[in-house]
Structure 1
Amino acid sequence: MTNAHPAPASPFRQPKAVWAVAFACVISFMGIGLVDPILPALSSQLNASPSQVELLFTSYLVVTAVAMIVTNWVSSRLGAKRTLIAGLILIVVFAALAGASSGINGIVGFRAGWGLGNALFIATSLAVIVASASGGFGGAIILYETALGLGIAVGPLLGGLLGGISWRGPFFGVSALMAIALIATVVLVPQTPKPTHHTSITAPIKALRHRSLLIMSITAICYNWGFFSLLGYAPFPMHLSAHKLGLVFTGWGVLVAIFSVAVAPRLQRRFGTAPTLYVNLALLAGVMAVIGAFTSSQVTIIVAVIVAGAFIGINNTLTTQAVMSVAPVERPVASAAYGLVRFIGGGIAPFVAAKLAEHYSVHVPFYLGALAFAVAIPVLATGHRMLRVADSGGAAAPATAAAGTPAVQSAG
């Protein structure tokens, strides 16, 4: 089956404003994997259980999810640049406060503030890229996914290097890098006018009444449950130092980057979105089941985690494009509604994974993650026709976000 999507234009000739926001995106996405290498160290040095440490993900992602409800409301009143700056300031401040904390509860609390800043930033950053970038919407998605891939790849490496010195290092590192991104945004991104259209605060919740967006959101809950079970809990049974964990997740992130940018678009054009996602989710379920069955084999876990990066990269790109293709509402509203649902699933999963391991066995979190990936397939299949129509170019195009409003964040 051949898809009607044309090959995306090269996205890498861009004005300075686009590169400033893209750089900030890289640093923002580094925050996803930056704490991975230091999770075991935090547990041992702060006398915290794995489930307490996993609250670093929960507070960050759940607050990000809930904040998605208000990001449209805020940005449609302040404008894109002011919203970007507000988000970056919050990340700089709360990342530094997390690094200065003396206990796990303080870190968890400050990660929640970090999540608020992250919501304001990620919900607005692609809007600026879409408004300013050459290459159209497709080119902006590729550039955005490149930033995501680089951030995910570099984050664990930097986290491992700084975490090998002190667990505080990764937090201070993000704060310093985001301060640079903040300055670049203030200087290089042109001032955007305040939007004339104000978005209702209830618009994202109302958008979930649309069947197409609801199907993609439920699929994303399942996917993100498996994804963050892998990302959040796999470091514990590996029994590696912070530096070595950083190298493992850097290998994982490199595959995320390569397959999201170079491989996913080719598979989509060759086989279509839905068939590619079915196979991809099945392979992810298989990888998680292998980890669950061989948690005593350090080599097996390491190889499986790195290999999973390829499938996660494919899923991120295709799901991002699918959501924007099938959603019958404006892109900013679709983005916020989708982010609200999926980030809640991703935030709860690592905490539940640690609790299941504490009360049952280390195998259970990974088997549950495999089941979540598998369940995503029949859920997505209920929307097979809408994805096929979107691939053929027959779906109604969603309204393009104005420069002053948020567009879409990555599905990763």
Structure 2
Amino acid sequence: MSAQSGGSILRQPMSVWATAFAAVVAFMGIGLVDPILPSIAQGLHAGPSQVSLLFTSYFLVTAVAMLVTGWVSSRIGGRSTLLLGLALVVVFAALAGTSGSVGELVGFRAGWGLGNALFVATALAVIVGAASGGAESAIILYEAALGLGISMGPLVGAALGDWNWRAPFFGTASLMAVGFVLIATLLRSTPKPAVKTRLTAPLRALAHGGLSTTAFTAFFYNFAFFTILAFTPFILGMSPYGIGAVFFGWGACVALSSVFGAPFLQRRIGSVRVLHLSLAVLAALQVCIALSGHVGIIVFVVLSGIPIGLNNTVFTEAAMEVSDAPRPVASAGYNFVRWTGGALAPYVATKLGEDVAPTLPYFLGALCCLAGMAVLYGRRHHMRSLERVDAGHALQEAPAAA
């Protein structure tokens, strides 16, 4: 990103900052439960694989709900969709704090996932539409919110969870209520699209070779990503504060590489090569985690945030740019496939680690990275439009560099 672009990313309307704040809190919900997974298992007398369903139900509902977000927002408008999503998160996060069993908690997390899907998919479109500096700056701002939320989530979860495992859920509900008020007061009503989105539009968009290639590569990547996030807390053997500190370092790497590393590498080697590079590095780090002792696990988990941050930004930009589908429709189709991988990983990985060997989930995650690279290479001809977008960005930045 040029200096000019870098300056404009900070000069945004208040409505964009309000949406970005709520996005930070929404993404906090992903890593919030990480430090308290062992505490939840102990408090509710459940095994690791049972507790991992907190992630599975959340992401599975998020994935399916992505298919209806465009249909909803095209009928009630972006602002109303954001507020509906936030309201659902507030209600179900608070209910999660009252759970008396794993089944109840898993069910409330599913409702939380529905609200999160409505908010997250629409927030990206709202930020892209309202932000100054163009779509690239808006996506980087969105990914910065994602990285900050993911990094802060474990800290908030650890601080509140050390007091009581229920407290992080009530804390998230309170913060999301603040986000609801900010968006209600600062974001003006967004115009409804001239053409209403059909329910089948996201699936139809996946017929485009470039978008489907991006989505299914991201499917395998997300499996590897959430293997680290969901299973690692059980093998660290640390207190909530210890787990929170590890995943704060991991999240900080995600945020920094998303905002600074990804644009830098895209300008020099192109988006597709960045994806190959980051997937290969993530595969190597997963193998290192599997073969390491306690200190090595901590180091390599933290470092895995670097390729994850690169992937998050490049995959999001690719999904927005690689096809001719409207951005909200392309985002919905891509996220449906992507979050399905995120939904499968926590239970499958934790079950394998619980019943077979604690190293097996990481070897499987590494294989998933290689599978993603194979999809990307085998269907590389579908990604030529993305190469043209990269070339266009380079031409735009050449005068600024001069």
Q: Name which of 366, 372, 376 aligns with 2:368.
A: 372
Residues 153-232 of structure 1 correspond to what in structure 2 (within 5 A)? 153-232=151-230
Structure 1 equivalent of residue 13 of structure 2: 15
CA distance in 2: counterparts of 1:25 and 1:198, whole angstroms? 25
Structure 2 equivalent of residue 25 of structure 1: 23
Structure 2 equivalent of residue 103 of structure 1: 101
State the Cα deviation string for residues 88-119 of structure 1 (Å, max 9, x = none). 00000000000111111111000000000000
Say whether the 8 Å CA contact 1:59–1:112 is kept in structure 2. Answer: yes
Deviation at 1:394, TM superposition (A): 8.4
Q: Which secondary structure state, in structure 2, belongs to the residue aligned with residue 37 of structure 1?
A: coil
CA distance in 1: counterparts of 2:185 and 2:347, whole angstroms? 40
Deviation at 1:12, TM superposition (A): 0.8
Any stretches of 5+ residues in structure 1 without a counterpart? 398-412
Of 336-345 and 383-392, deviating more is: 383-392
Change (3 A) 1:388 1:267: farther
2:378 corresponds to which letter in structure 1?
A: T
Q: Which secondary structure state, in structure 2, belongs to the residue aligned with residue 234 of structure 1?
A: helix
1:252 corresponds to which letter in structure 2?
A: W
Say whether the 8 Å CA contact 1:215–1:382 is kept in structure 2. Answer: no
Structure 2 equivalent of residue 70 of structure 1: 68
Q: Name which of 325, 341, 355 aligns with 1:329.
A: 325
CA distance in 2: counterparts of 1:69 and 1:178, whole angstroms? 23
Structure 1 equivalent of residue 142 of structure 2: 144
Residue identity (%):
52
Say whether the 8 Å CA contact 1:18–1:129 is kept in structure 2. Answer: yes
Residues 341-356 of structure 1 correspond to what in structure 2 (within 5 A)? 341-356=337-352
State the Cα deviation string for residues 340-398 of structure 1 (Å, max 9, x = none). 1111111111100111122211111111011101111111113434435423338999x
Q: Does 2:359 match 1:363? A: yes
Higher helix fraction: Structure 1 or Structure 2? 2
Deviation at 1:323, TM superposition (A): 1.6
Q: Name which of 48, 54, 57 aligns with 2:55.
A: 57
Change (3 A) 1:396 1:59: farther
Say whether the 8 Å CA contact 1:273–1:388 is kept in structure 2. Answer: no
Change (3 A) 1:237 1:149: same
CA distance in 2: counterparts of 1:43 and 1:210, whole angstroms? 43
CA distance in 1: counterparts of 2:77 and 2:391, whole angstroms? 29
Any stretches of 5+ residues in structure 2 without a counterpart? 394-402
Structure 1 equivalent of residue 310 of structure 2: 314
Change (3 A) 1:348 1:140: same
TM-score between both structures, scaled by the size of structure 1: 0.92
Say whether the 8 Å CA contact 2:94–2:173 is kept in structure 1. Answer: yes
State the Cα deviation string for residues 32-51 of structure 1 (Å, max 9, x = none). 11110001111122110111
Say whether the 8 Å CA contact 2:15–2:183 is kept in structure 1. Answer: yes
TM-score between both structures, scaled by the size of structure 2: 0.94
2:152 corresponds to which letter in structure 1?
A: V
Q: For this pair of structures, how many residues does the alignment match?
A: 391
Q: Which secondary structure state, in structure 2, belongs to the residue aligned with residue 36 of structure 1?
A: coil
Structure 2 equivalent of residue 35 of structure 1: 33
Structure 2 equivalent of residue 257 of structure 1: 255
CA-based RMSD of the aligned residues comes to 1.6
Say whether the 8 Å CA contact 1:325–1:395 is kept in structure 2. Answer: no
1:39 corresponds to which letter in structure 2?
A: L
State the Cα deviation string for residues 180-207 of structure 1 (Å, max 9, x = none). 0000010110112333311100111122
CA distance in 1: counterparts of 2:34 and 2:238, whole angstroms? 11
Say whether the 8 Å CA contact 1:216–1:380 is kept in structure 2. Answer: yes
Structure 1 equivalent of residue 334 of structure 2: 338
Structure 1 equivalent of residue 276 of structure 2: 278
Q: Which secondary structure state, in structure 1, belongs to the residue aligned with residue 20 of structure 2?
A: helix
CA distance in 1: counterparts of 2:379 and 2:57, whole angstroms? 31
Structure 1 equivalent of residue 398 of structure 2: none
Residues 73-84 of structure 1 correspond to what in structure 2 (within 5 A)? 73-84=71-82
1:349 corresponds to which letter in structure 2?
A: A
Say whether the 8 Å CA contact 1:149–1:257 is kept in structure 2. Answer: yes
Structure 2 equivalent of residue 404 of structure 1: none
CA distance in 1: counterparts of 2:383 and 2:206, whole angstroms? 17
2:387 corresponds to which letter in structure 1?
A: D
